[in-house]
Structure 1
Amino acid sequence: MSEALADELEAINSIYGEGTLFKASQDDAIADDSSDGAIYILSLPGGEAEGDIASARPSIRLRFSSAYPDEPPTVLGTHSSGEHGRRGAAARDLVLFRDAVGEVYEPGQVCLFDAIEKVKELLDAAKEDEPVPESGVGSNAFDGEQHDYDAAVPTPDLPLSPPPWVLSGPVVELKSTFIARSAPVTSPTQAAQYVQHLLSSDRKIRSATHNMTAWRIRGPNGTSFQDCDDDGETAAGGRLLHLMQLMDLWDTMVVVTRWYGGQKLGPRRFALINQAARDSFVKAGLVAETAVAKKKGHGK
C-alpha cells in the first residue's frame, strides 16, 4: 500500500466512520482476477440514517494500482452485501460514483474524499427534487429525513438549503484528520446561521473533536466585522483569523473540523489547521494556488 493510499484510508474512515473503506477479502480479490493492484470496498455514506455507514448505501469495489494516485482507481462494480430490494439503488450509485471519480480525479492527487462528497451532493439534489409528502409531516419539512439525529431539527432561522461550502482535501497526521470548508457571507448573523446549519445537519461534523471558525465581513459605510471561535482548541480560531488577515480575505468564513487521532500534535497542529484552511480558500478561488503552494512547502 502506498503512503498516499494509507493516508487516504485513515482519512476516509475517520471522517465517515470505521469500516467505510477497507481492503477486500482474498475471495473478493481473486474474483476480480487481477494481479495488478489491490481491491478495496467502499461503503458510500448517506441514506436513511446518516452515520449508519454499513447499511445506508450499497458498497462499491475499487482497484488501486501500485501507481495510485498517479493513476486513477478503477471502479469495478458493486459489492454484494446481502441486502435485498436495492438493485436499482446500487446501479444508480455505481454510475454516480464512476462519474464522480472521472470528474474529480487529477493525476497525482488522491480523489476518494472529493468523489464521495460529489456523490452526496448529487444524491441530496435528487432528494430536493422529490415531492414532499402532504400528510403526516405538518409544518416540519425535515421530519422525514432527520428523525434519527440526536440534535433538534434546524429552526426556521436557519437557511433552508445547505450553505455553499467549498471543502478542502483531508489533511492527516498521526491519525488526526482536518477538513476545512469556506463559504461567502454578508453578515455576522449569516455566519452564525451557517455554523449552526452545519452542526445541525451533519452528525460527523457535530461529533468531531473541534470545529474552529473564523470570518471577516465588510459592512456598510466603511464598517467591518471579524470574529473567531476556538471550539476548545486554544488559540486556533485566532490563528485562522490572522491567516485571513494576511491573505486579505473579506466577506468569507471558514470552519476547520478536526477529528483527534489519539496522539498529540503539539504546535504542529496549527500549521495543519491553516493548511486545510488555505486549501479551501484556493479551491474557492479566493487565492492563487501558486502563492499558497510556496507557503505550504512539502508538508503533508
Structure 2
Amino acid sequence: MSEELQDEIEAINSIYGDGCLVPSNDPNVYVLKPPGESSSLRVEFPPTYPAVPPVVLGTNSTGESGRRGDAARELSFFIQALSTVYQPGDVCLFDAIEELTRLLESSAPEERQDQDEDTAPEDATNALLTGKATMHTDVSNIPQPPWTISDPFIELKSVFVARCAPVSSTEEAEAFVQHLLATDKKVRSATHNITAWRIMGPNNTTFQDCDDDGETAAGSRLLHLMQLMDLWNVMVIVTRWYGGHKLGPRRFALINQTARDAFVKAGLVSENTSKKKGPGKS
C-alpha cells in the first residue's frame, strides 16, 4: 500500500466515520460505504495509485433500507464522480465522495438545482446590500472572539480562510458573526461567509445551525462535517473571496478542508489526518 493511499484511508475514515472505507479479502480492493447512502461499493486501488485512477468494480451490498434501483444509481453516479475529479498524481476519494453527494442531491426532483457560486460578483454586491448590513451593528459590548484561523487555501485565484471559536450559546455565536463582519472590512467584503455551529446546552439540549451566505448547500455541508467530527460548543466561519474562475463541486471540498484546518489548529482534531494533499489537504 502506498503512503498516499494509507493517508487517504485514515483521513476518509476520520472525516466520514470508521467503516466508510474498509479493506476486503483482496489487498488492493476496498469497500466504500458513502455517507448517508444505503449501498456500498467495491473500489480497486492499483499499486501505482494515485498515478493511475482507482477502478470501481461494482456494488458490494445494496443495503436493507435502499429502494429498488438506488444501488445502480449510486454506482453510476460514483463512476461519474471519479471521472470528474481524478487528476493523475492526486488522491481523489474525498472529492469523489463530495461530488457523489452533489450528484445525488441534484438528481432528486424535490431538490432545487445547485445555484453556482459563480454568479459571484452580483451575489457579493447583493449580500453587502442585504445580509451583510450587520456591518453597521454596534459591537462595542461584544468581546473580541477567540478565533483560531486556518491557513489560506487558494485555487484558481479563489481564496478560502476559516475561523473557529468556542461558543456556549446561539446568542454568542451570532454575536461573534456580527463582531467579525463589523470589525473586519476584508471579511465583510468577501463573496461568501459560510457559518455553522453546534452547541450542547443544559439538560442535553442541543442547538445547531448553518448559513450558506449565497453559496447554496455549503452551510449544510459544513455542519455535516462538524457532525461527522463530533464537534460541540464550537462555531466556524469559512470566508471565500471569488477569484473569477468557476470551481464547480471542488469548492465544497475546499470549504470543508479549510474548516478542518482551523479545527486542527484549535486542537479539536488530530493533525495526523491533515496532510498536504487529499482529504483535509491543500
TM-score by length of 2: 0.50
Give the AA of the match of 2:182. S
Instruction: Report how far residue 225 of structure 1 moved.
Output: 0.4
Match of 1:185 among 138, 145, 167: 167
Q: Distance in 2 between matches of 1:151 and 1:213?
A: 16
Q: Which residue of 2 aligns with 1:280?
A: 262
Give the AA of the match of 1:252. V
Q: Distance in 2 between matches of 1:214 and 1:222?
A: 19
Q: Distance in 1 between matches of 2:222 and 2:274?
A: 15
Give the AA of the match of 1:278. R
Q: Distance in 2 between matches of 1:166 and 1:211?
A: 16
Q: Distance in 2 between matches of 1:295 and 1:240?
A: 20
Q: Which residue of 2 aligns with 1:219?
A: 201
Q: Residue 203 in 1 paired to residue 185 in 2?
A: yes
Instruction: Report the CA distance shift for 1:257/1:294 in structure 2 as closer, same or farther (over 3 A).
Output: closer
Higher relative contact order, structure no. (Cα contacts within 8 Å, ≥ 6 residues apart): 2
Q: Residue 290 in 1 paired to residue 269 in 2?
A: no
Instruction: Report how far residue 152 of structure 1 moved.
Output: 2.5
Equivalent residues of 1:185, 1:252 under 8 A apart: yes
Q: Which residue of 1 aligns with 2:236?
A: 254
Equivalent residues of 2:194, 2:212 under 8 A apart: yes
Give the AA of the match of 1:282. V
Gaps of 5+ in 2: 1-133
Instruction: Report the CA distance shift for 1:185/1:232 in structure 2 as closer, same or farther (over 3 A).
Output: same
Instruction: Report the CA distance shift for 1:284/1:266 in structure 2 as closer, same or farther (over 3 A).
Output: same
Q: Distance in 2 between matches of 1:151 and 1:242?
A: 28
Gaps of 5+ in 1: 1-149
Instruction: Report how far residue 296 of structure 1 moved.
Output: 3.5
Aligned pairs for 1:95-110 (under 5 A) are none
Give the AA of the match of 2:179. H
Instruction: Report how far residue 298 of structure 1 moved.
Output: 8.6
Give the AA of the match of 2:235. M
Equivalent residues of 1:215, 1:251 under 8 A apart: yes
Match of 1:152 among 136, 143, 148: 136
Instruction: Report how far residue 162 of structure 1 moved.
Output: 1.3
Equivalent residues of 1:209, 1:258 under 8 A apart: yes
- SS of the equivalent of 1:262 reads coil
Q: Which residue of 2 aligns with 1:243?
A: 225
Equivalent residues of 1:184, 1:251 under 8 A apart: yes
Q: Aligned residue pairs: how many?
A: 149
Give the AA of the match of 1:270. F
Instruction: Report the CA distance shift for 1:250/1:268 in structure 2 as closer, same or farther (over 3 A).
Output: same
Equivalent residues of 1:275, 1:296 under 8 A apart: no
Give the AA of the match of 1:228. C
Give the AA of the match of 1:279. D
1:41-68 CA deviation, whole Å, 9 max, x = no partner?
A: xxxxxxxxxxxxxxxxxxxxxxxxxxxx
Aligned pairs for 1:1-300 (under 5 A) are 151-152=135-136, 154-155=138-139, 158-159=141-142, 161-293=143-275, 296-297=278-279, 299-300=281-282
Instruction: Report how far residue 151 of structure 1 moved.
Output: 4.0
- Identical pairs, percent: 66
- SS of the equivalent of 2:209 reads strand
Q: Which stretches of structure 1, 4 residues or more, deviate above 6 A after TM superposition?
A: none
Instruction: Report how far residue 291 of structure 1 moved.
Output: 2.5
Q: Distance in 2 between matches of 1:220 and 1:214?
A: 20
Instruction: Report how far residue 184 of structure 1 moved.
Output: 0.1
Q: Distance in 2 between matches of 1:255 and 1:176?
A: 16
Q: Distance in 2 between matches of 1:169 and 1:203?
A: 19
Q: Distance in 2 between matches of 1:256 and 1:290?
A: 22
Q: Which residue of 1 aligns with 2:109?
A: none
Equivalent residues of 2:257, 2:280 under 8 A apart: no
Instruction: Report the CA distance shift for 1:226/1:180 in structure 2 as closer, same or farther (over 3 A).
Output: same
Instruction: Report how far residue 222 of structure 1 moved.
Output: 1.1
TM-score by length of 1: 0.47
Q: Distance in 2 between matches of 1:155 and 1:205?
A: 16
Q: Distance in 2 between matches of 1:209 and 1:165?
A: 20
